[in-house]
């Protein structure tokens, strides 16, 4: 067959991206949300529909001031753990943070400081939360409040990780 690589591998290599109509629509909606600072978006679809792949394509397609991209997969953590993870990924020193509930205020302040620092450099952080489910995600994001970071969440099926009128919804469907 003289192929350069094995076909149908389970990886997120964007060289193999096929832009189905539903993926194209989801990417356009998510790009609009991020480029226009709309806050949070939710991408919903069944297992294997390409939600994670769309996030990977999105992070490669956005240029200029967007980034860093923090891609968190299946975040089965408490609100404190999740916020500490985000703070560290944004560049906070790990020894400055505690992951228990009593230190959430310090962690939130640290995240906000890191975001302000990126903003002062003309950067716009984007948080990609993959396979969110119903864990402590809503609580953690509510603690952050409105900051200059966009959040894109993927979820299998039709339930919502966050029930909020501000969340735009894009879907990946089988074609």
Weakest mean pLDDT among 13-22, 37-46, 48-57, 135-144 = 135-144
Q: In terms of pTM, does the model score above 0.85?
A: no
pLDDT of residue 136: 54
Flag whether pLDDT at 78 surpasses 80.
no
Predicted pLDDT of residue 72: 82
pLDDT given for residue 117 in this prediction: 92
Confidence of residue 121 (pLDDT cuts 50, 70, 90): very high
- What letters, b where the CB count within 10 A reaches 16 and e where it falls short, cover 157-173? eeebbbeeeebbebbbe
């Amino acid at each position: 067959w003289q192929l350069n690589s094995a076909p149908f591998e389970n990886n997120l290599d964007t060289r193999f991206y096929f832009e189905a109509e539903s993926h194209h629509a989801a990417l356009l909606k998510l790009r609009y949300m991020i480029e226009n600072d709309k806050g949070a978006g939710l991408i919903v679809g069944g297992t294997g529909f390409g939600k994670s792949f769309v996030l990977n394509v999105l992070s490669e397609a956005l240029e200029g001031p967007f980034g860093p991209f923090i891609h968190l997969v299946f975040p089965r953590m408490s609100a404190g753990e999740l916020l500490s993870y985000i703070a560290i990924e944004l560049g906070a020193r790990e020894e400055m943070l505690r992951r228990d509930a009593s230190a959430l205020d310090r962690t939130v302040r640290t995240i906000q400081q890191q975001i302000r620092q990126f903003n002062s450099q003309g950067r716009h952080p984007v948080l990609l939360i993959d396979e969110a489910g119903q864990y402590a995600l809503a609580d953690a994001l509510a603690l952050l409040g409105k900051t200059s970071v966009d959040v894109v969440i993927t979820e299998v099926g039709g339930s919502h990780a966050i029930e909020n009128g501000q969340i735009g919804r894009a879907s990946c469907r089988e074609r």
